């Protein structure tokens, strides 16, 4: 048993495991591979190395080289192979080393994986998962820090997921593997080892398309997903210190997204701040904003505001300025609360 496996199987007296995001992800992959022999894992250096961030560390040792194997540095080939295997009855988990490198595989994702069910009249599906580290906060620069989720939320036929906690990383990954349609699974790399969480030792799945209310409140709603969530909670705490009751919603899934939970919250508070780190233009949160104004216009007490990344290439060393940290969120919240 590896040191990582030992951590994953050390159950506390309360029946929980204390794991960080990447350990929980690793455990979720192992559990799905144990449960279903059609699940295979491949990508650049995912085998003996365990991936660039060690998300797949030790998995090849447990399942062998036929089910866990390295590929050439060719993202189009990785996804193309995953589509072919999925159509033929396998459930591949393909890793793209950084979300920034999804570009070479773009055609395979949007023209092949996303359309198999529709073009075949539902005779075939593509039950595959494309895992990829995304987002900034690790000084990776413009080729290793981007948040390209909106390219994929715009494509019918794909499910798009981005967890923010170890609990959700494990549960959503397991749900993604069991999905009969392709899932793009974004992993905020700055959260990989940011904190640990006590999660149940027993098997569980987090349903795709269900948001999580991280904190209940009455004056203002903050909606986010992925890497921004810890900062959203900090902003909510700062506002709470000023006597503002803030509701915080973590979308977790972008396609499908949980419109019902968001609308119910905004109907209660009347004010909403949308937060993500992707560039603002054509940001997925634009769709959320449109849905809110379309269905709740008469109940809004202030215009919908958004705090996002900037419409520039991701900078090498200015992560803290580029990312929508708690200070930018608090300033936007003050604008919402002061609107008359």
Three-class DSSP category at 69: strand
User: What is the C-alpha separation between 165 and 9, in angstroms, rounded?
Assistant: 19
pLDDT value for 17? 94
Q: What is the pLDDT along the chain (340 residues), one digit of tens a residue?
A: 677 777 777 888 778 999 999 999 999 999 999 999 999 999 999 999 999 999 999 999 999 999 999 999 999 999 999 999 999 999 999 999 999 999 999 999 999 999 999 999 999 999 999 999 999 988 888 889 999 999 999 999 999 999 999 999 999 999 999 999 999 999 999 999 999 999 999 999 999 999 999 999 999 999 999 999 999 999 999 999 999 999 999 999 999 999 999 999 999 999 999 999 999 999 999 999 999 999 999 999 999 999 999 999 999 888 889 999 999 999 999 999 999 7
Task: Return the sign of the alpha-carbon dihedral for residues 250, 192, 204, 233.
Answer: negative
User: What is the C-alpha separation between 265 and 43, in angstroms, rounded?
Assistant: 40
User: What is the C-alpha separation between 266 and 116, in angstroms, rounded?
Assistant: 37
Fold of 16-200: Rossmann fold (3.40.50)
Provide the residue ranges of all domains of the chain, joining segments of one domain with +: 16-200, 212-338
- Is the fold of 16-200 the same as that of 212-338? yes
Phi and psi for 274 in degrees, rounded to 5? -100, 130
Cα-only R_g, the chain: 20
Q: Could you give the residue numbers annotated as active site? A: 144
Three-class DSSP category at 56: coil
- CATH 3.40.50.920 holds for 212-338: yes
């Amino acid at each position: 048993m590896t040191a990582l496996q030992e951590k994953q199987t050390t159950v506390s007296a309360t029946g929980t495991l204390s794991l960080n995001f990447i350990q929980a992800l690793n455990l979720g992959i192992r559990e799905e591979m144990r449960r279903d022999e059609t699940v295979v894992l491949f990508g650049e250096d995912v085998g003996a190395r365990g991936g660039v961030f060690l998300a797949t560390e030790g998995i090849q040792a447990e399942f062998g080289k036929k089910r866990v194997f390295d590929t050439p540095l060719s993202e189009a080939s990785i996804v193309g192979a995953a589509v072919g295997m999925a159509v033929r009855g396998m459930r591949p988990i393909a890793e793209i080393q950084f979300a920034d490198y999804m570009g070479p595989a773009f055609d395979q994702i949007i023209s092949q994986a996303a359309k198999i069910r529709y073009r075949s009249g539902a005779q075939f599906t593509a039950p595959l998962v494309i895992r990829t580290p995304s987002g900034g906060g690790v000084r990776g620069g413009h080729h290793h820090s981007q948040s390209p989720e909106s390219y994929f939320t715009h494509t019918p036929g794909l499910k798009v997921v981005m967890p923010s906690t170890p609990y959700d990383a494990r549960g959503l990954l397991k749900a993604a593997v069991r999905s009969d349609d392709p899932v793009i699974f974004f992993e905020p790399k700055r959260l990989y080892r940011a904190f640990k969480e006590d999660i149940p030792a027993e098997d569980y799945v987090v349903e795709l398309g269900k948001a999580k209310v991280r904190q209940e409140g009455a004056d203002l709603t903050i909606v986010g997903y992925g890497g921004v969530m810890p900062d959203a909670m900090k902003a909510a705490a700062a506002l709470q210190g000023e006597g503002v009751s803030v509701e915080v919603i973590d979308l977790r899934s972008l396609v499908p997204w949980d419109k019902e939970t968001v609308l119910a919250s905004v109907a209660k508070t009347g004010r909403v701040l949308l937060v993500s780190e992707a560039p603002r233009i054509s940001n997925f949160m634009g769709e959320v904003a449109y849905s809110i104004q379309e269905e709740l216009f008469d109940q809004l007490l202030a215009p919908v505001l958004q705090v996002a990344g900037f419409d520039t290439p991701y900078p090498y060393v200015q992560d803290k300025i580029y990312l929508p940290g708690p200070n930018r969120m608090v300033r936007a919240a003050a604008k919402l609360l002061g609107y008359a």
